[in-house]
Amino acid sequence: MAMYLRDGCSLLLKLRKSPIPFVLTTNPISNPDKPNLNPSPIPESQVIQVLKHEPDIVSSLEYFKSLANSGTFKHTHSTYQIMIEKLGRNNEMDAVQYLLQQMKLESVPCSEELFISVMDSYRGAKLGEQGLKMFYRIREFGCKPSVKIYNHLLDALLGENMFKMISPLYKNMKGEGLEPNVFTYNILLKALCKNGKVDGACKLLEEMSNKGCPPDDISYTTIISSMCKLGEVDKAKELAMRFEPVVSVYNALIHGVCKGYRINEAFDLMKEMVGKGVDPNVVSYSTVISCLSDMGDVDLSLAVFAQMFVRGCSANVHTFTSLIKGYFVRGRLGDALGLWNLMIREGVKPNVVSYNTLIHGLCSNGRMDKVVSVWNQMEKDFVRPNVTTYSTIIHGFAKSGDLISACEIWNKMINCGCRPNVVAYTCMVDILCQMSMFDQAFDLIDNMISDGCPPTVVTFNNFIKGLCRRGRVEWAMSVLDQMEKYECLPNIRTYNELLDGLFRANAFREACGLIRELEERKMELNCVTYNTIMYGLSFQGMHQQVLQLLGKMLVNGVKPDDITVNITINAYCKLGKVRTAIKVLDNITAEKEFCADIITHTIILWGICNWLGTEEASVYLHEMLNKGIFPNIATWNVLVRGFFSNLGHMGPIRILDDILET
């Protein structure tokens, strides 16, 4: 499925995955016309070797089928297990069910190990509910439920946050007379914590001890980590004091304080660890380094990095990635690339996260040529790009103005079977709008729905902005109404884009209607909204209303920005209140909240030329020059028009000569 771009190129939407053929005939029909050659039986070890080492899943299955249909080999538990595990790793769960059924028909018993593999496959395919249904048929396949199998199924349900199914399954396990072990309890602890029931997890911790199943490091770390994620770091510290200190618990506490950028507490915890004979590990150091990098303190993070080596703790890919990210945040491109090269020299293999960090930093610095070479290196290192990689590169090319390359990266993403996320979709909507391909952009938004990735308000805002920038304001207004169909409520930016589009299209009445809608929705206006409306009023010559709106803006506690000041100065000048405009500007400048630019001074000069005369304009221009503020072409146009209209043909020339000599 594709949408067509210019010059015959197309933008792919979906890559259709071919269904894997898994129909197996186990009762071959003999051909009476051909003599029975009585082929020699194939040893099981040979079949196992072929199935294990064949990388292509389809070829493996064809070989598996051919053996079953040849009469030279009867599949065993081992060959079934290898084939089922390979299919499971490829998320071919229909084929897995088919082969399990075939095992049942051939009376090949299913072992505990194989059934666990099947449960893990359902987990990998995020099909926990189907895995549960399969579990309840376990005895059909000659296998009995065990604590180990229950644990794997419980973990699969936990992975999909299917909390409502975990409790009944646990009760079912108890009903069969199976006693939970520490792994079972740890899964239940995680389930409670992920569901926000930390107090219940603490009670379960006590129950474990009472039942003669002492909690292990994972048990304690699970609860401490959950408390820290909920912001209950101090409470987590108190709980941690009740049991023997272990590095994983300390790491959870360090992560908790670093999350709130409480870096001094992180250092205190590391000192406490050492004091209690617990050596900080690479996770401890990497967490602190990541926090410091996020805070922009790269030099201190580098000092912690050096301390790691002094203590004999080798850095891993996460450590290097955090430092590289920190250098990029501080704009130190050269240092970031130098650290990347150091990581490679140290033999630390980059993963997809580190590559994404490098690519994001290069894209932010506009180094798209370098991004392409890094992309090629990923392929050489057999690091598979993920949706973040593609999204970052698409956005990078779009930002650099290379929209065609951005589309090509999108197509590569779809061809590789990588499903776009909302960020990638939203970026592509923006790109298509920049190419004035609005029909295709809207089709892409529709595709998001069918792809199970509903558009957000940011997606619609990009679309509306694109329409408004190209003067398609009527369509943009209709999109506002359609947003409700997609269960997406507009925000203030939506209205800002529409107001700007309406004012630019001189649709003043429609803009006023939209302002009334804003008031009816009781939506809080921001500085951009006020500026947009004030600019629209100014364009209509409604300068008194501009000043009234400024008063309302200040009363509502919205802080003006540079654009607000220039619009206000312009309104005063248009109304002939030039001295008031100068006074307002002097007051704002004295408070150091605003630094007047050439636009501001040009507006003032226009007001002086039109209302106070050319002599004062000359004085003001001299003051500008003395302050090191030099006129641009717009400023000179204002002055020339003002001088000619007030002094005749000779006056302005003499004055301008005098100024230029100065």
Mean pLDDT per 10-residue section of the chain, whose length is 662 residues: 52 58 45 52 88 88 86 88 92 90 89 92 89 90 91 90 88 90 92 88 87 89 90 88 87 92 93 91 94 91 91 93 93 93 94 96 94 93 95 95 93 92 95 94 91 93 96 95 88 97 95 94 95 95 95 94 94 95 89 84 93 90 90 90 64 44 44
Give every CB contact of residue 561 below 8 A, 6+ residues apart in sequence.
Answer: 527, 531
- The pLDDT assigned to 10 comes to 66
CA distance 249 to 217: 8
Helices (H) and strands (E) in the chain, counts: 36, 2
Q: How far is CA 376 from CA 17, 324, 350, 593, 599, in A?
A: 25, 20, 14, 48, 47
3-state secondary structure of 212: coil
Looking at residue 334, the DSSP 8-state letter turns out to be H
Cα–Cα distance measured from residue 456 to residue 395, given in angstroms and rounded to the nearest whole number: 17
User: What are residue 651's phi and psi, to 5 degrees?
Assistant: -55, -50
Which phi and psi angles does 586 have, rounded to 5°? -60, -40
The angle that helices 368-380 and 387-399 make with each other, rounded to 10 degrees, is 160
Please give the full DSSP string across 240-302, using - where no structure is assigned: HTTS---HHHHHHHHHHHHHTT-HHHHHHHHHHHHHTT----HHHHHHHHHHHHHTT-HHHHH
In DSSP notation, 491-550 reads: -HHHHHHHHHHHHHTT-HHHHHHHHHHHHHTTPPP-HHHHHHHHHHHHHTT-HHHHHHHH
Query: Which pLDDT does position 205 carry in this prediction?
Result: 85
pTM: 0.74
Structure tokens at 539: 């364009």
Distance of CA 453 to the CA centre of its chain: 13
Half-sphere CA count of 132, side-chain side, radius 13 A: 21
> Left (φ > 0), alpha (ψ -120 to 50) or beta: where does 417 sit?
left
pLDDT computed for residue 30 by the predictor:
41
Q: Which helix (H) or strand (E) holds 4?
A: strand 2-4
Q: d(Cα 63, Cα 53) in Å, to the nearest integer?
A: 12
55 Cβ contact partners less than 8 Å away, ≥ 6 residues apart: none
Which residue from 545, 498, 501 is spatially nearest to 517, judged by alpha carbons? Answer: 498
Answer for the pair 172, 135: CB distance below 8 angstroms, yes or no: no
Distance between CA atoms of 43 and 572, rounded to whole angstroms? 96
pLDDT score at 113: 93
Predicted confidence at residue 8, as pLDDT, reads 45
The token pair at 28 is 């071959």
Reduced to 3 states (helix: H, G, I; strand: E, B; else coil), residue 10 is strand
Provide the phi-psi class of 38: left if phi over 0, else alpha when psi is between -120 and 50, else beta: left
How far is residue 475's CA from residue 605's CA, in Å, rounded to a whole number? 40
Residue 488 per-residue DSSP state: -
Reduced to 3 states (helix: H, G, I; strand: E, B; else coil), residue 2 is strand
The answer to whether 566 and 603 have CB atoms below 8 angstroms apart is: yes
221 and 190 in contact (C-beta within 8 Å)?
no
Angle between helices 182-194 and 217-229 (to 10 degrees): 0
Determine the Cα–Cα distance for residues 216 and 222; give it in Å rounded to an integer: 10
Which helix (H) or strand (E) segment is 11 a member of? strand 10-12
The rounded distance, in Å, linking the Cα atoms of 493 and 456 is 13
d(Cα 476, Cα 154) in Å, to the nearest integer?
Answer: 49
User: Could you tell me if 371 and 396 are in contact, meaning their C-beta atoms sit under 8 angstroms apart?
Assistant: yes
Give CA–CA dist 628/630, Å, rounded: 6
Nearest to 496 by CA among 475, 516, 518: 518
Measured CA to CA, the distance from residue 292 to residue 258 in angstroms comes to 9
**Which amino acid belongs to residue 308?**
M
> What residue segments make up the domains of the chain, in order of their start?
524-591, 597-662
The number of angstroms, rounded, from the C-alpha of 267 to the middle of its chain's C-alpha atoms is: 30
- Reduced DSSP (H G I as helix, E B as strand, rest coil) percent helix, strand, coil of the chain, to 5: 70, 0, 30
Distance CA 68, CA 566 (A): 83
Strand partners, 4: 10
Residues for the chain: how many in total? Answer: 662
Q: What 3-state class would DSSP assign to 460?
A: helix
Distance CA 458, CA 556 (A): 26
- State residue 5's pLDDT score: 55
